[in-house]
Structure 1
Amino acid sequence: MFRWLITLLVVLVLALQYRLWFGEANLREVLALRQAISTQQQDNEKLLERNRQLEAEVQDLKKGLAALEERARSEMGMIREDETFIQLIEPRSGSAQ
């Protein structure tokens, strides 16, 4: 009788171990999901930071003209009516004069 009880307990432990290692939602799958969650959280943090920067830029553009003027100058090469545009061209190195 005692031997049957031990055999039954060993079989139950082996069945539980099988489910732990190879069954549905096993340890490998759980570890892979944890890694995927960690990666997604890092991506989310990067996107949140980018969104904060964009929101700050939008607010700056809504409030004043300084940011709008800076953007027009740097990205579009625009100048004001009362300004003079001067472009300096450096000579090519190695060319004969």
Structure 2
Amino acid sequence: MFRLLILGLLLLLAGLQYRLWLGDPNLRQVWQLEQAIIEQRRENQLLTERNQRLEAEVADLKQGLKAIEERARSEMGLIQEGETFFRLIEPGPTRRPQP
């Protein structure tokens, strides 16, 4: 009787070990999911920081005229009344006259 109980417990242990290592979900899948969670949290942190920068820029654009002016000057090349605009052109390669 005692041997039958031991055999039953060993079979139960083997069955549980099978489910743990080879069943669905197994430990390898759990470890992969944990890694995916860590990577997703990193990505979420980067996106949260980007969103905060964008929110600050939007708030600055809503409140301050300096940011709007800076954008107009840098992106559109606008100048104010009474200002003089100087355009500097880099000299290109010189050509030799052909005979």
Report what 1:10 is aligned to: 10
CA distance in 1, matches of 2:63, 2:43: 30
The unaligned stretches of length 5 or more in structure 1 are: none
TM-score (norm. length: structure 2): 0.89
TM-score (norm. length: structure 1): 0.91
Instruction: Give CA deviations for 1:14-46 in whole Å, capped at 9, x if unaligned.
Output: 000011012222101111111111111111001
Aligned-pair CA distance for 1:92 = 2.1
AA paired with 1:18? Y
The unaligned stretches of length 5 or more in structure 2 are: none
Equivalences for residues 1-97 of structure 1 within 5 A: 1-93=1-93, 95-96=94-95
Number of equivalent positions? 96
CA distance in 1, matches of 2:28, 2:36: 12
CA distance in 2, matches of 1:24, 1:87: 69
Aligned-pair CA distance for 1:71 = 0.5
Give the aligned CA root-mean-square deviation in angstroms. 1.3
Q: Identity of paired residues, percent?
A: 59
